[in-house]
Chains A and B, each alone.
Chain A
Amino acid sequence: MTETAIKLEGITRDFGTVRAVDDLSLEVPTGIIYGFLGPNGAGKTTTINLLLGLLEPTSGRAEVLGFNTVAQAEQIRARTGALLEHTGVYEQMSAEDNLEFYGRAYQMDPGDRKARIKELLLGMGLWDRRKERAGKWSRGMKQKLALARALLHRPQLVLLDEPTAGLDVMAAKTVREDLASLVASEGVTVFLTTHNMTEAERLCSQVAVIRAGRLVAVGHPDDLRARAGAPRLEVVSSDFNEQARQVVQAHSSVMSISANNGHWDIELGAEADSSELIALLVASGVQVEEVRRGQASLEDVFVTLMEEE
Chain B
Amino acid sequence: MSDVFAMMWKERKSMFRARGRRSQTILTIIMPLLLAIYLPWQEGLAWFHNALSFVPVIVIPFILVGITIPDSFAGERERHTLGTLLASRLSDRSILTGKIAASVLFAWFATIAVLLLSALVVNVLNWDGSVMFYSGTVLAADLALSFLVALLTAGAGVLISMRIDTVQSAQQSLMMILMIPLVIVQIGGVVLLQTMGGRGQIKAFFEGIELGEVALIVTVALLIIDLFLLVGAFATFRRSRLILA
A pairs with B: yes
- B88–A93 CB distance below 8 A: no
Say yes or no: A107-B2 contact (C-beta < 8 A), given A77-B89, A93-B17: yes
Residues of A within 8 A of B243 (CB): 49, 54-55
Minimum CB–CB distance for B227 against chain A, Å: 27
**Interface size of B in residues (CB-CB distance below 8 Å):** 28
Closest-by-CB residue of A relative to B16 is A92
Q: Which of A6-64 contact B (CB under 8 A)?
A: 15, 49, 52-56
A127 CB–B CB distance under 8 Å = no
- B84–A86 CB distance below 8 A: yes
**Could you say which of B84, B85, B91 has the most chain A C-beta atoms within 10 Å of its C-beta?**
B84
Q: Which of B52-107 contact A (CB under 8 A)?
A: 79-81, 83-91
- A90–B14 CB distance below 8 A: yes
Give Cα distance in the complex from A55 to B2, angstroms: 26
Say yes or no: A54-B86 contact (C-beta < 8 A), given A49-B243, A88-B80, A92-B14: yes
A interface, how many residues as a size bin?
35 or more
A91 CB–B CB distance under 8 Å = yes
- B88–A92 CB distance below 8 A: no
A84 CB–B CB distance under 8 Å = yes
Instruction: Provide the A80-100 mask, 1 if CB < 8 A to any CB of B, else 0.
Output: 101111111111110001001
Interface residue ranges, B against A (CB under 8 Å): 2-3, 5-7, 9-10, 13-14, 17-19, 79-81, 83-91, 239-240, 243-244
> Ordered nearest first, which 10 A-B pairs have the shortest CB separation?
A88-B84, A86-B80, A92-B17, A104-B6, A78-B89, A82-B87, A101-B10, A54-B243, A77-B89, A105-B6
14 example contacts (A-B, Cβ-Cβ < 8 A) are as follows: A15-B244, A54-B86, A55-B240, A77-B88, A84-B84, A88-B84, A93-B10, A93-B13, A102-B88, A104-B9, A105-B6, A105-B90, A107-B3, A146-B84
Interface residue ranges, A against B (CB under 8 Å): 15, 49, 52-56, 74, 77-78, 80, 82-93, 97, 100-102, 104-107, 135, 146, 149, 159
